[in-house]
Amino acid sequence: MPFFRRPRLSRACCHGLLGLAALGWACAAQALAPTKTGDAGRQWDTLSTQTGKQIDIDRSSIKKEEAGRITAWGRMVLNHDLPDAQSGGSYRSIEVLGRYDCSGRTYATLKRIYVKASGEVLREEEQKVLADMPVHSNTLDDKVLRTVCRPTSAKELRKAAMGTAVKASDVADALKEANDKLLKKTLGKDKKAGPRHKDDLASSAGGSDPKGSKAEKGEKAERGEKAEAADPDTLEIKPPRSTYRAPQPRPRKPVRHTPPRPATPASPTTGATDTSAAGNAHGASTATADGHGGAPHWDYEGANGPENWANLSPDFHACADGHRQSPIDIRDGIKVDLPPIRFNYAPSHFQIVDNGHTLQATLGNGSLTLMGKPYVLSQIHFHHPAEEKVNGQSFPLVAHLVHRSADNRLAVVAVLFTPGKENPALQTLWDYIPLERNAPVAPPDAAIDLNQLLPDQRDYYTYMGSLTTPPCTEGVLWLVLKQPVEVSPDQLAIFARLYPANARPIQPRGDRLIKESR
């Protein structure tokens, strides 16, 4: 919040837990000095450590107030004393009581306590005029807001998820009402032209019989299919199966030399080249929404392994002939001021499936925005070991968060993992790993917050590449986060037991441009 608003003195401590990202101090010390505070018995948990300051929060002080607001105590501990113009003394930390509006995403500072390095209170400051300030995504302010607003029980998680479901239901009801009005209007017009078949009337209104016509039911019965209505949010459009059959893998085609990078228009998001091929990258040819699935069968080893993917189907030719394939060893990029990735994630119900190639989860909501262009989250899946390398360094696991834009372009966020402590978001998924392959599990009482899967620092590498699975379609915008996220040895062992090696080998970089945040 600007929890700590700037006092009237030069370089004085100024903002609060929320608003800390805007401090702009250039503190030279490399470590924080031990600090005692007049915290009145508060229990501090470190939320973030940055050069020159440490941000703590007292989770036990989080209290719900009226109108859905929450109050909580937080503090900022500095690595050196700062002068205070009002008291003439100096302080080492500031404790702040803040008020948070979780639904409106705003905050206000209620009280500040300036504390000396010795632990003695220098002065207290009540805020007589409260100003609700907006919280922007992907900032330290946002992290604090998410921490205090995070549901603490299964009941609260269900309530948050049900709120989303109710909104979706309201939208569906509105669409149905509009469709009924249009159908009624069409029926009125057609009275003059004589009777028409019911199915024709529904078709002319832009809809269809929700129960299906008799002919349709008969056809579905003959095929053994269920005449059920599809959920538009989870509908996966599968292409017709290929009739191609390869009795034996034939020798791989000779590798072509990589030509110079074509002079194509620059991507509006990163400056790297982009193509319309991304529109077909996930499901318009032979793959499902993640590139995992479809016919013919492919694998990570043996006769159907990566070396022979191009021989399994004509649709897989890019796996051998493409010039901008993924993954790559990310190195020698140009350091520039890349636009920030705005992640819009919230706790959500999910469905997880073991599709025979990886564990894949789909969520009820989620998106990102890059340079003003929104991309909706399609799904998230994992590779062990990580497919990407950074300056030759390997990682034990990677999560690929696949997003799609309205114009059918793909943006894949890669989150690298490094051994360390347990990851709560990952554990939520692991708790519901299906017992059988291709048998999705959708736990009704569980929710996942993908914000817990993202690192604190959102700097990234970016380049144009491809799907890392057949059909290896190119034109995919890759956003590889630079800071790894910790994963426990037990969590790694669980995934490795299911998939000891489900990573495509490193592909030639060729003449591609790589950019990275500086």
CATH of the domain at 36: 2.40.128.710
329 within domain boundaries: yes
Could you tell me if 145 and 281 lie in one domain?
no
What whole-number distance in Å separates Cα of residue 494 and Cα of residue 480?
A: 24
Task: Indicate the number of domains in the chain.
Answer: 2
Domain boundary among 127, 150, 173: 150
What pLDDT does residue 6 have? 40
Could you tell me if 143 and 281 lie in one domain?
no
Residue of 137, 155, 134 whose CA lies nearest to 146: 137
What pLDDT does residue 132 have? 72
264 within domain boundaries: no
What pLDDT does residue 166 have? 61
Residues of the chain with pLDDT under 50: 1-36, 196-293
pLDDT in tens, 202-227: 444 444 444 444 444 444 444 444 43
pTM: 0.49
237 within domain boundaries: no
What whole-number distance in Å separates Cα of residue 278 and Cα of residue 269?
A: 15
**379: β partners:** 402
Domain boundary among 130, 150, 170: 150
Contacts of 160 (CB under 8 A, 6+ apart): 151, 346, 347, 447
What pLDDT does residue 152 have? 62
- Peptide bond between residue 385 and the one before it cis (omega within 30 degrees of 0): yes
CATH number at residue 499: 3.10.200.10
What pLDDT does residue 38 have? 58
Residue of 458, 453, 464, 465 whose CA lies nearest to 481: 458
324 within domain boundaries: yes
What pLDDT does residue 130 have? 64
Residue 333 structural domain? 276-517
266 within domain boundaries: no
257 within domain boundaries: no
What whole-number distance in Å separates Cα of residue 339 and Cα of residue 355?
A: 35
What pLDDT does residue 128 have? 64
Domain boundary among 119, 150, 181: 150
CB neighbours of residue 499 within 10 Å? 17
Q: DSSP labels for 77-131?
A: EEEEEEE-TTTSSEEEEEEEEEEEETTTTEEEEEEEEEE-TTS-EEEEEE-SS--
Could you tell me if 280 and 145 lie in one domain?
no
Cα 251 to the chain's mean position, in Å?
Answer: 40
